[in-house]
């Protein structure tokens, strides 16, 4: 019997070899190439020169003056990273501020009607990201729906310049990634025992105290999961900042593409991509730590 089990395990490993090879080549392979490129010299007309150097990592944070080799902080790079981090955090906060009441509303509907509301939330996923971004562009541009409405009602005298600003990028990303916040929150709230809310009111707790001391701690796994699902793609967003930012308000994803394209500095682009990966990894480790702590506490 033991020999049969051992043979079945060995057969399972043999059958999984093609899938393991595919994962290694398709996932680990490209990442390994990026890691190698980050420690090479840039080619004269793109590509790389196979000489080991850490210059790309140095240029992520610093820059040298072309005349006297004076080293200063790479303000442009740091500004792009700060803008990306700021907009990603703000996108996550806005998505939570809108997504939590939405998820609560859906979870408190009669069971036979919740599927309809979830269906409405998932409709944006039916269309391409590019189309959704252009839809937001039509709303916030100078002659768009928002400015037309405000002008017709006399609220403003001139169109608001929203397009090609950080505000436009923020609005676009909040719209695009909002469903990724709503769905985990709904899953957490759907399992919530609403008798705890009644118990809180019976103990003369205010609505705010019930929300802060009862509801939020219990649905925290859904909050953390939704925040990660919104923050991670926002940090590396490319399409939305490219269209709504107009190329002026660049984020990390656009900056990495620029290095592999017009900049022709593949090692710097690879170093930036790895740095972005490290930031995402820190966020995921924080998520794992929170969820593990919740599991340990039952």
Quick one: 121 and 253 in the same domain?
yes
- Is 52 within the bounds of a domain? no
- Is 51 within the bounds of a domain? no
Q: What are phi and psi of 249, to 5 degrees?
A: -100, 80
- Is 45 within the bounds of a domain? no
Is 252 within 8 Å of 79 (Cβ atoms)? Answer: no
Q: Are strands 62-64 and 48-52 parallel, antiparallel or unpaired?
A: unpaired
> Any idea of the CA torsion for 131, 135, 136, 139, to the nearest 10 degrees?
170
Q: Is 245 helix (H, G, I), strand (E, B) or coil?
A: coil
Is 88 within 8 Å of 276 (Cβ atoms)? Answer: no
Quick one: 24 and 81 in the same domain?
no
- Is 13 within the bounds of a domain? yes
- Is 10 within the bounds of a domain? yes
Quick one: 242 and 96 in the same domain?
yes
Q: How confident is the model at residue 179 (pLDDT cuts 50, 70, 90)?
A: very high
CB atoms within 10 A of CB 286: 13
- The pLDDT tens digits for 111-137 are 888 999 999 988 888 888 889 999 999
- Is 60 within the bounds of a domain? no
Q: Which residue has the tokens 């940090």?
A: 235
Q: How confident is the model at residue 9 (pLDDT cuts 50, 70, 90)?
A: low
Quick one: 32 and 112 in the same domain?
no
- Is 195 within the bounds of a domain? yes
Written as six digits, the tokens of 42 are 């840039």
Residue 140 has a pLDDT of: 92
Residue 98 has a pLDDT of: 95
- The pLDDT tens digits for 195-221 are 888 888 888 888 889 888 888 888 988
Is 255 within 8 Å of 218 (Cβ atoms)? Answer: no
Chain mean position to CA 83: 14
Q: Domain total for the chain?
A: 2
CATH number for the domain spanning 116: value is 1.10.3720.10
Helices and strands (DSSP H and E) totals, the chain: 15, 4
Quick one: 158 and 287 in the same domain?
yes
Task: Determine the Cα–Cα distance for residues 264 and 273; give it in Å rounded to an integer.
Answer: 15
Quick one: 23 and 142 in the same domain?
no
User: Residue 27 is part of which domain span?
Assistant: 1-36
- The pLDDT tens digits for 145-176 are 999 999 998 888 888 899 999 999 999 999 99
Find the largest Cα–Cα distance for the chain.
Answer: 84
Quick one: 24 and 147 in the same domain?
no
Dihedral of alpha carbons 199, 203, 206, 209, sign = negative
Q: Which residues contact 271 (CB under 8 A, 6 or more apart)?
A: 38, 56, 57, 59, 60
Task: Determine the Cα–Cα distance for residues 77 and 226; give it in Å rounded to an integer.
Answer: 28
- The pLDDT tens digits for 13-53 are 787 888 888 877 787 888 889 999 999 999 888 788 899 99
Quick one: 15 and 122 in the same domain?
no
């Amino acid at each position: 019997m033991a020999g049969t089990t051992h043979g079945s395990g060995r057969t399972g490993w043999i059958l999984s070899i093609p899938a393991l090879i595919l994962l290694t080549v398709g996932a680990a392979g490209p990442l390994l190439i990026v890691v190698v490129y980050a420690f090479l010299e840039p080619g004269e007309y793109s590509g790389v020169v196979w000489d080991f150097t850490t210059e790309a990592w140095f240029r992520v944070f610093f820059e040298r003056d072309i005349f006297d080799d004076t080293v200063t902080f790479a303000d442009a790079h740091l500004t792009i990273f700060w803008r990306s981090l700021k907009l990603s955090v703000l996108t996550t906060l806005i998505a939570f501020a809108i997504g939590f009441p939405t998820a609560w509303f859906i979870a408190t509907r009669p069971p036979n009607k919740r599927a309809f509301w979830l269906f409405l939330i998932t409709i944006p996923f039916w269309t391409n990201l590019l189309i959704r971004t252009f839809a937001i562009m039509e709303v916030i541009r100078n002659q768009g729906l928002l400015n037309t409405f405000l002008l017709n009602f006399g609220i403003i005298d001139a169109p608001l310049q929203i397009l090609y600003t950080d505000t436009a990028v923020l609005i676009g990303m909040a719209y695009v990634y909002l469903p990724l916040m709503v769905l985990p929150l709904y899953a957490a709230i759907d399992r919530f025992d609403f008798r705890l809310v009644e118990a809180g009111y019976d103990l003369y707790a205010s609505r705010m105290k019930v929300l802060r001391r009862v509801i939020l701690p219990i649905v925290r796994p859904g909050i953390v999961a939704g925040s990660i699902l919104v923050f991670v793609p926002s940090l590396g967003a490319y399409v939305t900042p490219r269209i709504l930012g107009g190329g002026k308000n660049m984020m990390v994803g656009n900056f990495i593409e620029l290095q592999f394209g017009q900049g022709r500095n593949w090692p710097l682009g690879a170093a930036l991509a790895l740095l972005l990966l490290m930031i995402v990894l820190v966020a995921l480790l924080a998520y794992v730590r929170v969820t593990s702590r919740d599991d340990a506490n039952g």
